[in-house]
A and B are shown apart, each in its own frame.
Chain A
Amino acid sequence: MEAFFFSIGVIIAGGTLPLMLHRHFTLMKTVGVLSISAGCLIGLTNSLFQLFRPETDAVSFKYLHAFSLSFVIDGLSAFFLVPVFFVSFLAALYSFHYLNTPEKSFRTAASYLFFSLLIASMTLVVTAANIITFMLFWEIMSLSSFFLVVYDYHKIETRKAGYLYFVFSHAGAMLILSAFGLMYGFSGSFGFDGAAILPEWVKIVVFVLAFAGFGSKAGVFPFHVWLPHAHPAAPSHISAVMSGVMIKIGIYGILRMYVALNYHAPLFGEILVIAGMISGILGVVYALAQQDIKRMLAYSSIENMGIILIGLGIGMIGMSSGNPLMAVLGFAGSLLHVLNHSIFKSLLFMGAGIVIKKTGTHSIDALGGLMKKMRITGMTFLIGSLAISGLPPLNGFVGEFFIYLGGFKGVGLDKLSFVLSLMAIISLAVIGGLALACFTKVVGVVFQGEPRSESAVKADEKEPMMLIPMVVLAALCPIIGVFPKAVFLMAIRGVSALNLGYGRIPFSPFLEMTENISQAAAVFLLIVFCMLALRFFLYRQKTITRTGTWGCGFTRPTVKMQYTGSSYARSITDFFKPVTALNEDHPAVQGVFPAKTYYSSHARDIAERYMESVFVHPVLFFFDKLRWIQQGDIHPYIGYILLAIVILLFFV
């Protein structure tokens, strides 16, 4: 535990020192990055060590006399600590070259402060062992990430994003607090472990409330509205941390509540599976429809949260129906996906960050051909895309594979569990296919083909500190994909902390599965290698000519003729028409010599649309109607006093 707090101390120091050094830009960045990354490394080693230790560490401090700040590192906490420290470490490195405007020296320093606070609060939330501690650091986490989101507050979209994020995180916190309040109300103790004695109906209410609250942080549909706004608005290393790890804290919250309540109602699993399916499918459909590269990645995070939730739901269904194998597979699969998603999503955000920085545009349809100028970025982005599409032999597949296996175990169950397992499997399949379409679109349009605009022509990549983290992350994807054993053991450690009542979870049946994956992946790589050799052999001493792309007989092709991302996605989004209504803007062509015209379209998020018309407008209308109270004349004001007295006297 000391090492844990020490690492947090170092991280915070990395946030405060830059504030003092903000006059020396490079020195400030060096100090900040070094300190934060060193702290993260210490924390990472410590949490790996903690993860494989049998006993849990607990520590408690007195707080404001009556309360205590207690922290516990059990398997679950340690499991979530790993990605938090790891991704933050790489994001800190990445920021060194990413934040390179000396004119904004002070703002950069402030961003390091909030960055360090964000890391610290995430780790403290994950280790918090009572309500007060949890809420305290949860709110600090929201607040510090908010400041990071509004880093570029000059842009109006950023301000809108920051506002949405702020309001949603507050509402989410209120929901969580109400769940905690109920817990405290019935148990009378602030600790999580007191929750096990609640009556059953209270447990259900608590779980539902907590799910809604944590779900809004995790970006679960329909509480996700803030996410596609906030993640693109933040600087890219922050997006990487937010999308890579911060939203997982919401998942952690759900799991922690599940552990604390120690109640295995089938309802929990059902809620999670259904929410997961909706988030997964809609998330990826919207991702496909996006034209902004970071927004698209943000929606893809929603999709992956859906996959994780499906896994958790399968685990909970397995738990409630007394199917240990299904439970462990579901939980372990989704924990694995938590880890994997944090790796490839932060990789993709970092890649997108470089692309945006170098080309100055967010729009997918304005880019193209970057693979030639940004080789490393392109390669790593490609690997990340393969991984996030869940393709073997990369890591994205591993988690999904276990979730599938768990889901198939559920097919053998009765009625509702069967239907849900069936739907879970089908939706995982559909999500997989759509994700593939989505990421082929991004890779194909952004990195391949020819540049579609001037800005995409003069891109380069020279900053090593931005490339190294991406290379590290990209290397991890195939490594975990081929040798999932180690991370799977980590996930099992996490699952055993879930208090499922199975005692020690045996490793052997699961290790066999990971062995299978390794073996198959190895065979596959062997085949690929043979094919490469074959190809090399076939091309010996052959004439290779280079020329323009064949235009099917069209002799003057231009880059404008290329297929764009929007047209690529159109047929699929049309298939999901009811939820992906397009907003089109296209002034009609008129007159003999028509002026230049344009066409723009974007898919509107159904939740966002209905949030306005179903919730925001009625609320505003209601409060508008109340405004006559303060109409300026003093006479009714005195009447209010009389009225209050008269009404109250009735009750005397």
Chain B
Amino acid sequence: MIHPVDILLILVLLSVLFAFASSRLPVLIRILAFQGVVVSIVPFFLEHEMTAGGIIFTTATLTIRGIIIPWSFYSMIKKMGIKREVETIVSYNASVFASLLLIVAAPMLSHKFNMISFSGGTLITSTAITLVVAGMFLLMARRNAIAMVLGYIMMENGIYLIGTALSSGAQHIVEFGILLDVLAGVMIMAIMLQSIKQKYDNLDTAQLSKLKE
């Protein structure tokens, strides 16, 4: 029988594929919102007993990841008239191919660390690894600043997945930390995005390479 978590995780992996293939910012944001929601609800389907605090934190995460952050980016694009095209360093086709490779490689890595022996489905660790690496891939392969921030959020999603799914002993401080990080980090980044927009009239980070040797 397929574990319900696995279904969620397959959805997450799909979202990675789509994220790699999408060339438009709004689409990317929507995919990330979807991913955030799915990742946030994973704890409900795990076999841990949910405490009240756990439920609160999970709900908060859901709200922030799934609604607040995507919405704020969305409105920022609208308000500031940001170009919707995502400038790439690695082309979309290559990105998709890379993500496929990644999805294949991640389980092998999780095998190496005997991660499957943990609670939850077989997929959970490989998905988390995929998310982290995919997030970094977006950071490395996209020139658009918002896309990079989205990559960062994807990375955090992966860490969240590991944090909540795998470790029981970590109390809520882990979730709290991740939440704070995402919220404050993204907030600061958003301010930076605005400044970049003001200075250069677009969000292409290729312009931000003056400080070098």
Distance A630 CA – B205 CA, assembled complex (angstroms): 16
The answer to the question of A596 belonging to the interface, with a C-beta cut-off of 8 Å to chain B, is no
The answer to the question of A625 belonging to the interface, with a C-beta cut-off of 8 Å to chain B, is no
**A636 cross-chain contacts in B, Cβ below 8 A:** 140
**A584 cross-chain contacts in B, Cβ below 8 A:** none
A639 touches which of B140, B209, B210, B211 (Cβ 8 Å): B140
**B212 cross-chain contacts in A, Cβ below 8 A:** 630-632
**A642 cross-chain contacts in B, Cβ below 8 A:** 133, 136, 140
A interface, CB within 8 angstroms of B: 627, 629-636, 638-639, 641-642
Write the chain B residue with the least CB distance to A638.
Answer: B139
B208 touches which of A631, A634, A639 (Cβ 8 Å): A634
Distance A632 CA – B89 CA, assembled complex (angstroms): 15
Distance A422 CA – B212 CA, assembled complex (angstroms): 60
A631 contacts B209, CB within 8 Å?
yes
The answer to the question of B184 belonging to the interface, with a C-beta cut-off of 8 Å to chain A, is no
Distance A632 CA – B210 CA, assembled complex (angstroms): 6
Q: Which of B125-163 contact A (CB under 8 A)?
A: 133, 136, 139-141, 143, 148
The answer to the question of B7 belonging to the interface, with a C-beta cut-off of 8 Å to chain A, is no
A622 to chain B, nearest CB (A): 15
B209 contacts A632, CB within 8 Å?
yes
The answer to the question of B213 belonging to the interface, with a C-beta cut-off of 8 Å to chain A, is yes
B210 contacts A635, CB within 8 Å?
no
The answer to the question of B80 belonging to the interface, with a C-beta cut-off of 8 Å to chain A, is no
8 additional contacts (CB under 8 A) given A632-B209, A634-B148, A635-B140: A627-B213, A629-B213, A631-B209, A631-B212, A631-B213, A633-B206, A638-B140, A641-B136
Number of interface residues of B (CB under 8 A): 16
A630 contacts B140, CB within 8 Å?
no
Task: Name the 9 nearest CB pairs between A and B, nearest first.
Answer: A632-B212, A632-B209, A630-B213, A633-B209, A638-B139, A635-B140, A627-B213, A642-B136, A639-B140
B139 contacts A632, CB within 8 Å?
no
B141 contacts A635, CB within 8 Å?
yes
Most chain B Cβ neighbours within 10 Å, of A629, A632, A641: A632
Most chain A Cβ neighbours within 10 Å, of B133, B210, B213: B213
Most chain A Cβ neighbours within 10 Å, of B133, B140, B143, B205: B140
14 contacts between A and B (CB under 8 A): A627-B213, A630-B212, A630-B213, A631-B209, A631-B212, A631-B213, A633-B209, A634-B148, A634-B209, A635-B139, A635-B140, A635-B205, A638-B139, A641-B136
Distance A493 CA – B89 CA, assembled complex (angstroms): 77
A634 contacts B205, CB within 8 Å?
yes
B133 contacts A635, CB within 8 Å?
no
**A634 cross-chain contacts in B, Cβ below 8 A:** 148, 205, 208-209
A632 contacts B211, CB within 8 Å?
yes
Distance A636 CA – B139 CA, assembled complex (angstroms): 9
A278 to chain B, nearest CB (A): 41
A106 to chain B, nearest CB (A): 39
B87 to chain A, nearest CB (A): 11
Q: Which of B159-213 contact A (CB under 8 A)?
A: 205-206, 208-213
**A630 cross-chain contacts in B, Cβ below 8 A:** 212-213
Write the chain B residue with the least CB distance to A641.
Answer: B136
**A629 cross-chain contacts in B, Cβ below 8 A:** 213
A311 to chain B, nearest CB (A): 51
Distance A353 CA – B139 CA, assembled complex (angstroms): 67
